[in-house]
Every structure is written in structure tokens, then in C-alpha cells.
Structure 1
Amino acid sequence: MYQLLLLTGLRLREVAEGRWSEIDLDERSWLIPGDRMKNGQPHWVHLSPAALAIVKDLPRIQGKEGKDFIFTTNGESPVSGFSRAKQRLDKAMRAVEACEAKDDDRAALPIEPFVVHDTRRTFARGCQRAGTPPEVVERLLGHRTETESGVKGVYQVYAFEPERRAALDKWADTLLATVAGKARVVKLRGAA
């Protein structure tokens, strides 16, 4: 689930409460209904090859009465217990960092505290660094923009789907390269 959060820029509950009926594997897309979006509007999400692979690998647990949650342990309700899961993630990250530090013969670097919602900030910054225009990033995040309200909302209704598709694919490639250690990392001035 955390991988999908990073790859899509979605909010935790938008992913956690996702349903298989919202996913179109052939079109590589996810259409989240407005009642699950903060802005109340349906939200179209392109699934990059990496995101699609994650979704395809998930088990399908069919619940009663048509319940089809993507992330569930019992088929009847979406996953929950996020604070416990985050604690386990933090522990695993500290273990990996300590292991890497030991292998490199250096002291372990501290992991900065973060909350799950910070994945959206990471996503937005990554898309911006890759050259995605701000209005496309806003669409990717599911934000309502000023062009969607008032008179502009009547005339400026372009959804930026091709641009969103390209941005999500590019972000996934960048993220995977970073994880694989193949990304170009720039040392910031003043950093030790």
C-alpha cells in the first residue's frame, strides 16, 4: 500500500478504501468516486507500469454483498490499523539503514520522522522536479483549482489526462531508479 501511495500521490484513505470495481486493468486506470475524494469530485488516476504490477500482484478477497476492497484482510472492510503499520515500517527502515551503515563502515544515519501524508509532498516535489507543470501536479493530487470554480470552470475543463499519464510514468521511473540506486543524487550545499 505504501508503494502505491508513493507512486500515485493519493491520500491514505483513498488507497486503503479502494475497490477492485474502480480499477480498469486494460486501461491501466483507477477511477475513484467523488464520495471518497476530499474535494468531492471523481478522480482519474493512471496506473504506471510499476503501480499496475503492484495492483495485479494483490490477492483478490471477495466479500459478501459485492464488497471488493483492494486492501482487506477479511473481504468485509478495508484495512485499518495504520499507526501500527507505520510503526512497523519505521522499524524496518531503521533496520535497513543500520545494516547499510554497518556494510559501509559508518555510523547509521538518522531517519527523519515523517507521517504517511508526507508521501504526497514527496510525490508532488518529485513531479515538479521532473518538469510537470503545476496545474498538472494539482490534478494529480486531486486538488480543486481556481480554474474549476466560477466562470473559468465553465470554459477551462481540460483534464490533462495525457499529461497526467506521462507525469505518473516519469515519476515511477524516477522513483524506481532512486530505489535501485541508479538515480542521479545531487548533494545540497551545506549538507555534511
Structure 2
Amino acid sequence: MEARGALDIAKRSLQTCGQVFRYAVAHGVIERNPAADVKPGDALKPRKKDHYARLETKELPELLRKIEAYQGSPWTRLALKLMALTFVRTGELIGARWDEFDVEAAEWRIPAERMKMRTPHVVPLSAQALDVVRSLHELRNRSPLLFPGERDHEKPMSNNTILAALKRMGYAGRMTGHGFRGVASTILHEAGFDHAHIELQLAHMERDEVSAAYNFATYLPQRRKMMQWYADHLDALRQGAKVLPFKAA
């Protein structure tokens, strides 16, 4: 698995071996768990970090203004806005389905099968993000997708759509869809938000099957406040207004 580059599967397989051995110990089949002596970092090569092109935070206001004035497809413009506000992964964005959204609760609940970590994820929706969702609803056709493909409405838009739009705005090689995640992480950390809240909202934290059902909603009230602050912050940047600092409760 490691040789073919499936590092996540290799790591999960090692963890599964440990679970099997623990079961065997508990039922008297063996006396000790040999897998306990081996940590994933000891046996497997570390994953090479992907360095996605992203703007410096000082360049963000201009990009936000260009997104607002984007003259291409309205779905593409709204996809860029929602990506900036929620900083989900590109695949999670373009595959968004209407049945994942609860406007009353102001939540976007992405099911485990669509997440990289294969655990459910909750995105608290700011007032600005809800406005984007409502705008998308006005454009809605019969597709179950928020961002249907141009030709086949049963399939999502291409994952190159975001890149193509950024290129059209003059950001080729300088910004990617994934870059919005890095920018958000930098801004939120610099503003003083709790690292754990940021990482959980970025869906970076790995969770095992037992805890996944409980952890996806961890720190939800704090994350809700963080997401609204971030949306207000982006508005201020775009408008050239004074940016208010975050004040911890």
C-alpha cells in the first residue's frame, strides 16, 4: 500500500491490525498485542505535504473584489464566494448537495463518504454564506447539486472550474481553490482563535470510527462564532473598511 502511494490506507490498515490484536488479547487468544510496539510513523514513510499556490493575506482584498465583480457563470462566482467563506476542499464544494443544507439551523452537514477523513463534517454557515446559498437556490434547476455541470446536471461542475476562474481573474499559478484554506488558517490563527477550533473546521483532525460520530460537532458554538467573524472580516477587507479584532468571550 505504501509502495503504491496509498499512505492513508496503509495507516488505517496498521490501525486495524492493532484492533484485531487487541480483540485477540481480550479474548485470550494471544497474550500480547505486537502491533502496539509499532507506531505508523515508525513503519511508514511520512506523507509529503502538498504546497498549494496561495496569495499573501495582503492580496486577499483585491481577489475578493474581483470575485464580487466576476462576469463569468453565476454558479462559478457563487462557488468562489462560498469557498472563500467556508474554506472547504474543492471536491467537497463542487459535490455539495441540497439535502446537506439546513438553512434553519444555518448548517452544512457533509456526509462521511464525501470527506477526505471519511468522517462527517459540519460547516456552520455565516449570514453571508446563507445569502450565497439562497442565491444559488434562485438559480436551482432540477439537479440535486448546488453546482451542477454545464452539460450534465446530474454531475458536479469540473474541479478545474475554480482554477479556470482564478486564472481568468489573473491569478494563474498564484492561487488555487485549496489556497483559500491556507489563507483562512493564517488569518484565524493571527486573530487569536483557538488552534483546535481552526483545525477541526479545516477537517484536519483525524478521528477513529468510535469517536467520529461525536467529534464532528465538537466546539460547534465556538466554530459558529469563528465562521461569522471570518465572514465579517472578509466583508471588511473587500470594502476597505476597518477590520475589527476578534475578542475572545
Pair in the same fold by TM > 0.5: yes
CA shift digits 1:36-95 (9 cap, x unpaired): 0000000011100111100110122223xxxx1011134311111x4355233333247x
Give the 5 Å matches for 1:58-73. 58=136, 59-63=139-143, 68-72=144-148, 73=150
CA shift digits 1:136-189 (9 cap, x unpaired): 0011001225xx4599x59x95700001000000000111100111145xxxxx
Tell me whether 1:163 sits opposite 2:199 in the alignment.
Answer: no
Residue among 149, 174, 178 paired with 2:237: 178
1:127, CA displacement in angstroms?
1.5
Query: Aligned pair in 2 of structure 1 residues 169, 25: CA closer, same or farther (>3 Å)?
Result: same
CA distance in 1, matches of 2:180, 2:164: 16
The amino acid of 1:32's aligned partner reads: I
Residue among 175, 200, 219 paired with 1:114: 175
Give the 5 Å matches for 1:93-108. 93=170
CA distance in 2, matches of 1:142, 1:84: 23
Give the 5 Å matches for 1:16-165. 16-58=94-136, 59-63=139-143, 68-72=144-148, 73=150, 74-80=152-158, 82-83=159-160, 85-93=162-170, 113-145=174-206, 148=207, 157=215, 159-165=218-224
Aligned partners of 1:61 and 1:69 also within 8 Å: no
RMSD of equivalent CA atoms: 2.5
Moved over 6 A (4+): none
TM-score by length of structure 1 reads 0.74
Percent of pairs identical after alignment? 29
Gaps of 5+ in 2: 1-78, 244-249
1:116, CA displacement in angstroms?
1.8
The amino acid of 2:199's aligned partner reads: E
TM-score by length of structure 2 reads 0.58
User: Could you say what secondary structure the match of 1:44 adopts?
Assistant: strand
User: Could you say what secondary structure the match of 1:143 adopts?
Assistant: coil
CA distance in 2, matches of 1:88, 1:150: 38
CA distance in 1, matches of 2:108, 2:167: 28
What's 1:2 paired with?
Answer: 80
Q: Please tell me whether Structure 1 or Structure 2 has the larger radius of gyration of its CA atoms.
A: 2
Aligned partners of 2:166 and 2:176 also within 8 Å: no
CA distance in 1, matches of 2:223, 2:118: 20
User: Could you say what secondary structure the match of 1:78 adopts?
Assistant: coil
CA distance in 2, matches of 1:78, 1:84: 10
User: Could you say what secondary structure the match of 2:122 adopts?
Assistant: strand
Gaps of 5+ in 1: 95-110, 185-192
